[in-house]
Amino acid sequence: MSDHLHFNLFTMNSVEHVSPGSWTIPGDQSHRYTDREYWTDVARTAERGGFDAIFFADVRGIYDVYDDDRDPAIQRAIQTPSNMPQALVPAMAEVTDDIGFAVTRSTSYVHPYQLARELSTLDHVTDGRIAFNVVTSYLESAAENLGMGDRMEHDERYDRADEFMDVCYRLWEDSWEDDAIVRDAESETYTDPENVHAIDYEGEYFTVPGPHGCEPSPQRSPVIYQAGSSDRGRRFAATNAEGVFVSQPTKEATRDYIEDMRERVGDRGRDPDSLKFFPGIVVITGETDEVAREKHETYKEHISVEGTLSLLSGFIDMDFSELEPDQKVEHIETDAIRGTINAFTKNDPDREWTVEEVAQFAGLGTTSPVIVGGPETVADELEAWQEEVGVDGFNLKEVTRPGSLRDFVDYVVPVLRERGLIREEYEGETLRENMFERRGLPDGHPGADS
């Protein structure tokens, strides 16, 4: 197994993603998210840097929890406007050969039969370079817009997600046999019906007779990512995920998370090492430490406090406008992203956070660590994460676009390559081969065993 680090670019088909206010930084090109060439350039740059994938976040709904109003978020382009990530994939695949595409799709608002078809199609069109970041969604406004009334309760969203994944695995893995397509003109047989099977799925949320409408794509099941951090979210990830996107602000918290997850994965009869861990990370870099520090200062000046609080209010489902800036943030039970609030209230019991401090910290990448320095400094720190924490790679969060990616690839990647910490060449043909050196889902995974 390769021991180099794996990198994804964590981005979104929108103006702002996780660094509110960054569109005001001189030279930032986030407004070009509607421009196909912006994305094809991003894909080429990330592939030049040996990245595993472009990892697209996606949400439905508007961030309207802050001040009980959507205007503060709309004004500052907080994840709205945004377009669908999956529509960008064919254009980006066309100009690249190896880099993968992780698309976030919600199990709460689509039907698994439809989504299985969408992802099989994307896997075909990219020659096996697709990952599915499974989310359960957290914005109430999304449920309302889709005519689904109240958003489902937190744990129930995961119950539905469990079933959703079972349906998908059955469609991707069991419905069509490898030799179903025969293309024999003489017998007028394109497909041997004997080798195409119904799945006859009957569950609490879904009834799907099947068969799958698509022939098997190169990976069959896309690589499965997940990012939930609550107890229920971890249970889901331990069952389904091949990669988890960790959102903890410190090494200690990330180490604890990895230890807990490896134990859970082992309890499910899977190899604990078959799960890869990707903390989110912000890297601010340049030719030297000094240049990087200057950039950091500039970026901090552009943080939008209101924008950040609007974003966090949506993540946490708690209205930050009701708190004073110097008020301490306390742990609350929430129905949205539980991990976000825990990042501030639970991980370091000795540290108390005020609302203003949370906004300043979260303004650059939300709950992820920020590394500031020249190429050697950044490489040292990333290597320390690998050695001390046991991470497999990182989801690189952007501040400026496409500056954060370009700086990383131009300054840090050459040093990581000298140290053997990023690939020189892609190892396999599919995303899963490049990440795990195997074609299909791992043993013990419910998809492999279905």
Ligand X SMILES: Cc1cc2nc3c(=O)[nH]c(=O)nc-3n(C[C@H](O)[C@H](O)[C@H](O)COP(=O)(O)O)c2cc1C
From the list 193-201, 335-343, 374-382, 419-427, the region that binds ligand X by CB under 6 A is: 335-343
Q: Considering only CA atoms, which of 8, 77, 48 is closest in space to residue 368?
A: 8
| Cβ pair 178, 216 in contact under 8 A | yes
First to last CA, the chain: 26
* Pick 219 or 247: Cβ nearer ligand X: 247
DSSP string for residues in 103-128: EEEETTTS-HHHHHHHHHHHHHHTTS
When asked if residue 135 is in the footprint of ligand X (CB under 6 A), the reply is: yes
CB atoms within 10 A of CB 30: 22
* Pick 217 or 247: Cβ nearer ligand X: 247
DSSP state of 253: H
Tokens of 275: 């799960």
From the list 166-174, 178-186, 210-218, 332-340, the region that binds ligand X by CB under 6 A is: 332-340
* Pick 100 or 280: Cβ nearer ligand X: 280
Site string for ligand X, 222-261 (x = CB under 6 A): -----xxxx--x-----------x-x--------------
* Pick 15 or 292: Cβ nearer ligand X: 15
Smallest distance, ligand X to C-beta of residue 275, A: 16
Smallest distance, ligand X to C-beta of residue 369, A: 13
| Cβ pair 101, 13 in contact under 8 A | no
| Residues forming a β-bridge with 348 | none
Q: Give the residue, chosen from 58, 64, 166, 398, that forms a contact with ligand X under the rule CB under 6 A.
A: 58
Per CB under 6 A, contacts with ligand X among 268-327 are 280
Smallest distance, ligand X to C-beta of residue 397, A: 9
When asked if residue 138 is in the footprint of ligand X (CB under 6 A), the reply is: yes
From the list 168-176, 181-189, 295-303, 334-342, the region that binds ligand X by CB under 6 A is: 334-342
Map tokens 């370091």 to a residue. 348
Smallest distance, ligand X to C-beta of residue 395, A: 8
State how far the Cα of 8 lies from the Cα of 169, in Å rounded to an integer. 24
Cβ-in-10-Å burial (0-12, 13-18, 19+) of 324 comes to: exposed
State how far the Cα of 436 lies from the Cα of 2, in Å rounded to an integer. 8
When asked if residue 143 is in the footprint of ligand X (CB under 6 A), the reply is: no
* Pick 59 or 391: Cβ nearer ligand X: 59
DSSP state of 328: B
* Pick 136 or 434: Cβ nearer ligand X: 136
Tokens of 183: 């293309």
Map tokens 């472009």 to a residue. 54
Smallest distance, ligand X to C-beta of residue 305, A: 21
* Pick 61 or 216: Cβ nearer ligand X: 61
Q: Can you list the pairs that 227-230 forms with residues at least 24 positions away whose Cβ atoms lie under 8 Å?
A: 227/133, 227/135, 228/135, 228/136, 228/158, 228/339, 229/257, 229/337, 229/338, 229/339, 229/342, 230/154, 230/338, 230/339
* Pick 82 or 221: Cβ nearer ligand X: 82
∠ CA 33-430-127, rounded to 5°: 70
Site string for ligand X, 337-356 (x = CB under 6 A): xxx-----------------
- Whether omega before 209 lies within 30 degrees of 0, making that bond cis, reads no
To the nearest 10 degrees (0 to 180), the angle between helices 305-316 and 355-362 is: 100
Site string for ligand X, 95-114 (x = CB under 6 A): ---------x-x--------
Q: Give the residue, chosen from 59, 115, 362, 415, that forms a contact with ligand X under the rule CB under 6 A.
A: 59
Smallest distance, ligand X to C-beta of residue 348, A: 18
DSSP string for residues in 270-303: S-GGGSEEEEEEEEE--SSHHHHHHHHHHHHHT-
* Pick 337 or 409: Cβ nearer ligand X: 337
From the list 31-39, 55-63, 289-297, 369-377, the region that binds ligand X by CB under 6 A is: 55-63
Q: Which residue is at the shortest CB distance from ligand X?
A: 233
From the list 134-142, 167-175, 266-274, 379-387, the region that binds ligand X by CB under 6 A is: 134-142
Tokens of 172: 């991707």
Tokens of 364: 């650059």
When asked if residue 175 is in the footprint of ligand X (CB under 6 A), the reply is: no
To the nearest 10 degrees (0 to 180), the angle between helices 154-169 and 112-125 is: 60
* Pick 262 or 295: Cβ nearer ligand X: 262
| Cβ pair 7, 393 in contact under 8 A | yes
Q: Considering only CA atoms, which of 377, 347, 374, 375 is closest in space to residue 361?
A: 347
* Pick 33 or 138: Cβ nearer ligand X: 138
* Pick 106 or 175: Cβ nearer ligand X: 106
Size of the site for ligand X (CB under 6 A): 20
From the list 22-30, 129-137, 258-266, 415-423, the region that binds ligand X by CB under 6 A is: 129-137
State how far the Cα of 322 lies from the Cα of 436, in Å rounded to an integer. 46
**Which spans of this chain sit near ligand X (rule: CB under 6 A)?**
57-59, 104, 106, 135-138, 227-230, 233, 245, 247, 280, 337-339
